[in-house]
Amino acid sequence: MSLILTVLPDVKPDANAVTILNVRAYVIASKKAEEEGGGFADCHSQAEGHWILGTDQWPIANPMSFYEKYKARRSTWGIDALGSVIVEIELTNGMTGVGVSIGGEPACFLIENHFSRFLEGQDPLNIEFLWDVMWRSSMNYGRKGLTVQAISAIDLALWDCAGKLRNEPVYKLLGGKTKGSLPCYATCYDPLAAKNLGFKGAKFPLPFGPADGDEGMRKNIQRVKEIREAVGPDFPLMIDCYMALTVGYTLKLLELIKPYNIKWVEEHLPPDQYAGYTEVKKRNPSTALLTCGEHEYTRWGFKLLLDQECADLLQPDVTWCGGITEARRIVALASAYDIPIIPHGSSIYSYHLQYAFPNLPMSEFILLAADGASISPYFGQLFDDEPLPKNGWVDLDPNKPGFGVTLKKTHLRRPYPRADKSNE
């Protein structure tokens, strides 16, 4: 039996509502500009030699590490091949909202040629409706990855519009503050530098994976030991495995890191290995927490991780998992399982969510500056005024509406332009 008794009447903007005039999707003008500008919305779009791609001294274990040709650096297999996508939604009152993700030109194609039809002419405040029609209409080709990243960028632009229309920061629209200030841990290759900058903990990449054998494991443990000795016994340390390991290798790693007081081990398996995540969590020989979710999408993906007891905490990326609209559902779902959420990266788009809900205890900040040891904007040169952590804390300005940042348009290129709709 169905409770859908009739076709629903069309959702039309209320009389005098401000509506969406134009949706535009941009990439960064060139790969060179993206790298020189600090990556913009793609944190991996950095010049060769940057620690986040892996270096000769410190490679980063990843799903391609099994292949000799691709193991040295993540750039060799195109981790940054798609690059940033930036969505700008222009309203009939002249206001604009901005959202970002990764996905580059393919995401721009989806946004301009498919999703724009659901948005232009609509009330930007009907966000649940707009999310639902984008989701349902892309089910036949989407559901994860690029499509949901494109929807995420649009969703974030809608929330930015909503904040500006109501003259309030997004966290206030979500229910207001749950914390007076937001503590941050740093992701970096030098946890001592992060400690000296005031961060509340530090995460570093695991250099070697199963294909590097016993010698690689020995070097991994040596690295963990040296970092622990550098930062002292109590500074929280986490290890990111970027989908590189197997169940057996992870269990061995967890056994060998026991002396080093590791707070969590992150994303040890490929994201579809739900059963493997369950098994590692069941058999975890250490006190380290187990985390995943950075490359998971939507409430349905996260429900699988929760139902199957895959992790002790979850790490959705707000700019990838479906935007604020979907992230708040994931947050609610996780709270019912008493599982905390610590979102992956994403700066302001994460901070507003973290301010607004109690089961998000802290924030990730990736040290993307070329020296790997200082604080620079997560989104590089994308915004004029991205708030930065100070001494390991982030504060949001209550007087800045939306996500509180101003888009710099100098580096943008629109690959699939459509004629602007005019207000007249």
- In the bound complex, what is the minimum distance in angstroms from residue 242's beta carbon to Mg ion? 6
Selected catalytic residue, list 44, 50, 268, 344:
344
DSSP label at residue 304: H
* Joined tokens for residue 162: 């909503």
Based on CB atoms, which residue is closest to Mg ion, 171 or 365?
365
The smaller minimum CB distance to Mg ion, of residues 97 and 205, is found at: 205
Check: CB of residue 157 under 8 Å from CB of residue 48: no
Burial class (CB in 10 A: 0-12, 13-18, 19+), 214: exposed
Give least dist CB 266 to Mg ion, A. 5
Nearer of residues 240 and 386 to Mg ion, judged by Cβ: 240
Taking CB positions, which residue lies at the least distance from Mg ion? 240
148: part of which helix (H) or strand (E)?
Answer: helix 145-166
Q: Quick check: is 344 catalytic?
A: yes
Closest to Mg ion by CB, 123 or 317? 317
Residues, the chain: 424
Q: Which is nearer to Mg ion, 142 or 301 (CB)?
A: 301
Q: Residue 132's closest CA among 113, 158, 104, 161? A: 158
Distance, CA of 161 to CA of 20 (rounded, Å)? 9
- Cβ at position 272, least distance to Mg ion in Å: 16
Q: Report the Cα 115 to chain-centroid distance in Å.
A: 21
Q: How far is the CB of 68 from Mg ion (least distance, A)?
A: 24
| 3-state secondary structure at position 183 | strand
Least Å distance between CB 241 and Mg ion?
Answer: 8
Structure tokens at 173: 């629209």
Q: What values do phi and psi take at 407, rounded to 5? A: -70, 135
Q: Which residues bind Mg ion (CB under 5 A)?
A: 240, 294
Active site amino acids = 344
